[in-house]
Amino acid sequence: MATRHRTFYRLAATILIAFLLTPPTAAQPPWQICGKSGNYAANDTYQSNIRQLSATLPKNASASRTLFATSSIGSLPNIAYALALCRGDGNASACEACVTTAFQDAQQLCAFNKDATVIYDPCYLRFSNQNFLATTSNDNIIVLKNTQSVSSPVDVFDAAVQTLLNATGDYAAANSSRRFATGEEGFDTTNPTIYGLVQCTPDMSPADCRSCLGDIITQMPQDLSGSIGGRLIGVRCNFRYEVVPFFSGSPTLRLPAPPAPPAPPPAPVNVTPTATPREENRQTMFWLLCCLSLLQFWLSLPFAFVI
Ligand SMILES: *[C@@H]1O[C@H](CO)[C@@H](O)[C@H](O)[C@H]1NC(C)=O
Ligand SMILES: *[C@@H]1O[C@H](CO)[C@@H](O)[C@H](O)[C@H]1NC(C)=O
Ligand SMILES: *[C@@H]1O[C@H](CO)[C@@H](O)[C@H](O)[C@H]1NC(C)=O
Ligand SMILES: *[C@@H]1O[C@H](CO)[C@@H](O)[C@H](O)[C@H]1NC(C)=O
Ligand SMILES: *[C@@H]1O[C@H](CO)[C@@H](O)[C@H](O)[C@H]1NC(C)=O
């Protein structure tokens, strides 16, 4: 019994330490993903190819009607592929500035890494020695979650978010050459409106775009459940939702509030389980962990709000 307890406490302590050491997602952009396909060296051919891309891709993306550009420069083994996408509600000058900054930051945040993705509010950039342009696979998904939760029932909120993103995704895939759409949906008295935005790279077919969005929208309840705001951003498609306005211009779509959920069943009475000593022990540990988690949450507050 004593050994079991010791094992349990040791395990709990390990989990707790791991938790405390986990760096929270940075609060502010840029967010980056550094790849694992090797490094380049200062002044080598690969670096020179990245520099050439950085000299032209920001202009090409901002000059394009869809605020999107891809390119590759060089030959094997030093070929570099790049993709830049600006948000569909942005303008050309903001786009060019964002992609220019992205090239600079990528080379610092993922120093000498051949594969770097950097994400900002108005744009994102990936360059790589891997030909990711050849597929529509939505690699390098980053999850940005607002740590604040809704007060409404979580499953009702999640379903409303998915309904909004589904409808917005239908529109972006089928009706927009930018593969971009925004939407608003009524919700409840605490959060009267949910705002959503979806986007695919504009080179995707309507079917590929919808399927890409379908995959991340389906992932929403696992990754962002009940969060008052969040984003899933992959190289090929992304979404964002908030309970406050965040996009420019009027929404592409306006959805009515979903029907009110049925009243919850009455709470069961006379169910007061008495805890055995071992359960009490576990409960103490549970509350201890909760308090420490809260402390961790509190300490990380200035950093943890990713939205
Ligand atoms: C790279 O080139 C710069 C400018 O020509 C030079 O100052 C620097 O020493 C070079 N670095 C390496 C590692 O060769
Ligand atoms: C930018 O566009 C020009 C003109 O279309 C093209 O020649 C050039 O290769 C492009 N640059 C990149 C990095 O795609
Ligand atoms: C472009 O967008 C930026 C950021 O939203 C804004 O500050 C700027 O005024 C806009 N420029 C034009 C020409 O609309
Ligand atoms: C959203 O669309 C998917 C299909 O892409 C569907 O399975 C899901 O039920 C829809 N969710 C809502 C809440 O409409
Ligand atoms: C596309 O636009 C048309 C005309 O505005 C509209 O009737 C249709 O519902 C839209 N399709 C989607 C999937 O939103």
| Ligand 3 centre distance from Cα of residue 49 (Å) | 30
Please tell me the distance from the alpha carbon of residue 139 to that of residue 205, in angstroms, as a whole number: 17
Give the pLDDT confidence of 201-241 residue by residue, as tens digits.
Answer: 999 999 999 999 999 999 999 999 999 999 999 999 999 99
| Ligand 2 centre distance from Cα of residue 57 (Å) | 7
- Mark which of 255, 278, 300 sits at the end of a domain: 255
113 falls within a domain: yes
Examine the pLDDT at 298 and tell me if it is beyond 50: no
So what's the pLDDT on residue 291? 40
Token look-up 């009243």 returns 263
**Is the same domain home to 76 and 48?**
yes
Confidence label for 15 from pLDDT (cuts 50, 70 and 90):
very low
Token output for 128: 């790589």
Query: Ligand 5 atom closest to Cα of 171?
Result: 14
Closest-lying ligand to the alpha carbon of 166? 4
Please tell me the distance from the alpha carbon of residue 145 to that of residue 115, in angstroms, as a whole number: 24
| Ligand 3 centre distance from Cα of residue 246 (Å) | 15
CB–CB of 124/85 below 8 Å?
Answer: yes
CATH code of the domain in which 64 resides? 3.30.430.20
**Is the same domain home to 129 and 150?**
no
Confidence label for 27 from pLDDT (cuts 50, 70 and 90):
confident
126 falls within a domain: yes
So what's the pLDDT on residue 256? 86
The finding on whether 296 has its CB within 6 A of some atom of ligand 2 is no
So what's the pLDDT on residue 284? 43
264 falls within a domain: no
Phi-psi region at 215: left, alpha or beta (left = phi > 0; alpha = psi -120 to 50): alpha
Closest-lying ligand to the alpha carbon of 73? 2
278 falls within a domain: no
Please tell me the distance from the alpha carbon of residue 182 to that of residue 168, in angstroms, as a whole number: 6
At residue 144, the 3 state secondary structure works out as strand
Confidence label for 260 from pLDDT (cuts 50, 70 and 90):
low
Instruction: Look up residue 238 and give its amino acid.
Output: N
pTM of the model: 0.79
More confident residue, 16 or 130: 130
So what's the pLDDT on residue 28? 85
Q: How many domains does the chain have?
A: 2
Mutate to test the pocket of ligand 4, among 161, 211, 217 (most ligand atoms within 8 A of CB): 217
Examine the pLDDT at 17 and tell me if it is beyond 80: no
Examine the pLDDT at 197 and tell me if it is beyond 60: yes
**Is the same domain home to 105 and 160?**
no
Per-residue b/e over 77-109, b at no fewer than 16 CB within 10 Å?
ebbbbbbbbbbbbbeeebbbebbbbbbebbbeb
**Is the same domain home to 32 and 111?**
yes
Instruction: Look up residue 56 and give its amino acid.
Output: T
So what's the pLDDT on residue 85? 98
**Is the same domain home to 166 and 241?**
yes
Instruction: Compute CA distances 25 → 22, 66, 77, 134, 274, whole Å.
Output: 9, 30, 34, 30, 40
* pLDDT (average), residues 156-179: 96
Examine the pLDDT at 25 and tell me if it is beyond 80: no
| Ligand 3 centre distance from Cα of residue 196 (Å) | 21
**Is the same domain home to 29 and 81?**
yes
**Is the same domain home to 154 and 251?**
yes
| Ligand 5 centre distance from Cα of residue 180 (Å) | 13
* pLDDT (average), residues 234-250: 97
Closest-lying ligand to the alpha carbon of 52? 2
Quote the percentage of the chain above a pLDDT of 70. Answer: 76
* pLDDT (average), residues 18-29: 54
**Is the same domain home to 111 and 209?**
no
Please tell me the distance from the alpha carbon of residue 133 to that of residue 154, in angstroms, as a whole number: 37
**Is the same domain home to 149 and 243?**
yes
Closest by CA position to 161, among listed 210, 232, 90: 232
111: domain range?
A: 24-134
Give the pLDDT confidence of 59-115 residue by residue, as tens digits.
Answer: 999 999 999 999 999 999 999 999 999 999 999 999 999 999 999 999 999 999 999
DSSP string for residues in 4-58 = HHHHHHHHHHHHHHHHHHSPPPPSSS-EEEE-SS-B--TTSHHHHHHHHHHHHHH
**Is the same domain home to 150 and 93?**
no
So what's the pLDDT on residue 174? 96
- Mark which of 105, 134, 163 sits at the end of a domain: 134
Query: Ligand 2 atom closest to Cα of 52?
Result: 13
